[in-house]
Chain A
């Protein structure tokens, strides 16, 4: 089954404790992206990656890091989480063929709470 998986699905942590949210896709997609969803703001892009070892900032990259060492994985790293990073996070991927940004496949989301 074609899918994007994220782990963990739920996480409660404390300020300053480094954490990683993993994302993996099994569709051999070149493009992957991270979003955060906040009430009244919709989804905002954090980082994206066009291919292995190619990453770039989205709209709200501050406080986040990413890496793309393998095509299928795109982890999101919070080196020193703060309460304003409490949010619902989504990973997405797309083939990049034709309309590059068309039809992104989203993971199920990770709800992060930073105390």
Chain B
């Protein structure tokens, strides 16, 4: 069973606009959420995270929002740049080791 779901396989936005990537989870016990970014032929790289006790975390152009009642996580990228084009994975963890990943969303930022 997939406890972390990214229902949009792909997203295309114009350079300079906002990109919003969404993630839903089913297990209310998850206590930490992360976003990873992956370029072709490379491993995922950590982007940003948020603890379940918070509802927002910001790092430069990247902001992650957590809505625990809806079991929903989103990543906002503002403004989007062509270099942001990549696959983005949402991940959720439970305890010291139990990390579940979504299937990924391929973001394309058009110049």
Contacts and interface: CB of A to CB of B under 8 A. Distances in A.
B65 interface: no
Interface string A92-115: 100000011111111111000000
B49 A90 contact: no
Contacts of B97: 31, 48, 50, 56, 100-101
Interface residues of A, number: 26
Instruction: Bin chain B's interface residue count.
Output: 20 to 34
B84 to A, nearest CB: 18
A100 B96 contact: yes
6 contacts: A31-B97, A42-B2, A42-B6, A42-B89, A45-B99, A104-B99
Interface of B: 2, 4, 6, 32, 34, 36, 41-46, 49, 51, 89, 91, 93, 96-97, 99, 101-104
